[in-house]
Amino acid sequence: MVKTYLDNAATTPLLDEVIDAMVDVMKTQYGNPSSTHSIGQEAKAVIEENRRKIASYVGAQPAEIIFTSCGTESNNMIIKSCVDHLGVERIITSPLEHKCVAETCLEMKKLRGTELVYLRPNNKGDLDLDKLEELLKASDKKTLVTLMHANNEIGNLLDIDRVAKMCKENGALFHSDTVQTVAHLLLDFNKIGLDFASCSAHKFHGPKGVGFAYIRKSSGLKGLITGGPQERSLRAGTENICGIAGMGKAMDICMKHLDDYAEYMQEVKAYAVDRLISNIPGVKFNGRSAEPEKSLFTVLSVLLPFKNPLIGLQLDMRGVAVSQGSACSSGAGKPSMVMMSVLSDDEMENSTPLRVSFSHRTTKEEVDQLIKALGEIIAEQQ
């Protein structure tokens, strides 16, 4: 069966050029980058070349890019070290964060007694940034603000410039989980003025198992993994050279076509919104996900006007892959914190959220396949 893949916020397929770049490195660069001989140093050069390139794409200095295994590791490293090494006593966050941020913050509260303050979103998923400013001014405690740039379930975009400015003015550290936006939006970390950010290659057609943490120079942050001088002693362990090369190549391609891809995905998303409205009476969209200015073009969070917890499975049986939440929580069998934050009790009881997410390779025909499959499922239910 031809598969229709509409789950690109969970992960994206590798591009052929990325596979080629990785295979080339696998075949030619077997040296250990820490070895002092030329075979090792050649491998090291691959890493440093990609570090320079990646840094230039996100407005960072090469020394500010620390390669890690994924977005989850980057977020853990940043939050934990802020508490353990930078004296953070209070974390301001929101219930919309990815689990790897949410659970790490909770762990800091449990293990270190860190005060946790949540900015509560309204039913559109908007955060009250005036309230954030109030909170920042109200306490002298050393504070970390951790708020994601684009939400992985509803696509809502944070006004990251405003938050960075506020944090700077009030002496707070600012970390943003930029996993869904790196290589999709033009980001200049230095210009924005944030302290820490995170990235994962598999969200933009790179390989799984590699990402980076952006750590502002002289921030004093330390790593989680000890045992070697790699990554400026912030992340010990022999580097994933072919993963890093694959991430660099994926970024080359996505950054080169950034505007075209964005425009194309906006168009596909608008098409999906239109087709859903025309074909499913009563359909709604969660958060700001159907508002092009306020949400990321990769994510459309749909609210189907009936209860069907098996919808993901039924769509899969018809060859359509979507998500009923984020990939990390859709298997958990209970609604995610994000859905609980934006849906009313009645909506939770009587409707079904579905996340449809796009890449530059998604076609309108694939959207039509989704509409057709949903039509069949709805007809069967009646």
Ligand X SMILES: Cc1ncc(COP(=O)(O)O)c(C=O)c1O
Report the interface residues with ligand X, using CB under 6 A. Answer: 70-72, 98, 100, 148, 152, 177, 179-180, 200, 211, 326-328
Distance CA 360, CA 261 (A): 5
Residue 200 Cβ, how far from ligand X at the closest point, in Å? 3
Q: Where does residue 205 rank: exposed (0-12), middle (13-18), buried (19+ CB within 10 A)?
A: buried
Residue 64 Cβ, how far from ligand X at the closest point, in Å? 19
Residue 142 Cβ, how far from ligand X at the closest point, in Å? 24
82 is catalytic: no
Residue 81 Cβ, how far from ligand X at the closest point, in Å? 17
Contact 261, 360 (CB under 8 A): yes
Give the residue ranges of DSSP H helices in 193-336. 241-256, 258-279, 311-317, 327-330
Nearer to ligand X by C-beta: 70 or 127? 70
Distance CA 248, CA 246 (A): 5
- Closest-approach residue to ligand X (CB): 71
Nearer to ligand X by C-beta: 240 or 326? 326
Q: Could you say which of 70, 242, 254, 328 is catalytic? A: 328
Token readout for 22 is 């990785």
35, 219, 273, 372 from 98: Cα distances, Å: 37, 24, 25, 31
Q: Which of 265, 267, 246 is nearest to 257 (CA)?
A: 265
Residue 91 Cβ, how far from ligand X at the closest point, in Å? 16
Nearer to ligand X by C-beta: 12 or 351? 12
Distance CA 152, CA 142 (A): 28
Nearer to ligand X by C-beta: 152 or 351? 152
The set of residues, in sequence order, having a beta carbon less than 8 Å from that of 250 and lying 6+ positions away, is 14, 15, 18, 183, 201, 204, 205, 206, 207
Nearer to ligand X by C-beta: 21 or 179? 179
Residue 319 Cβ, how far from ligand X at the closest point, in Å? 23
Distance CA 156, CA 124 (A): 9
Nearer to ligand X by C-beta: 148 or 164? 148
Contact 339, 289 (CB under 8 A): no
Residue-by-residue DSSP string for 226-261: -SS-TGGGTS-S---HHHHHHHHHHHHHHHHTHHHH
Q: What residues are annotated to the active site? A: 328
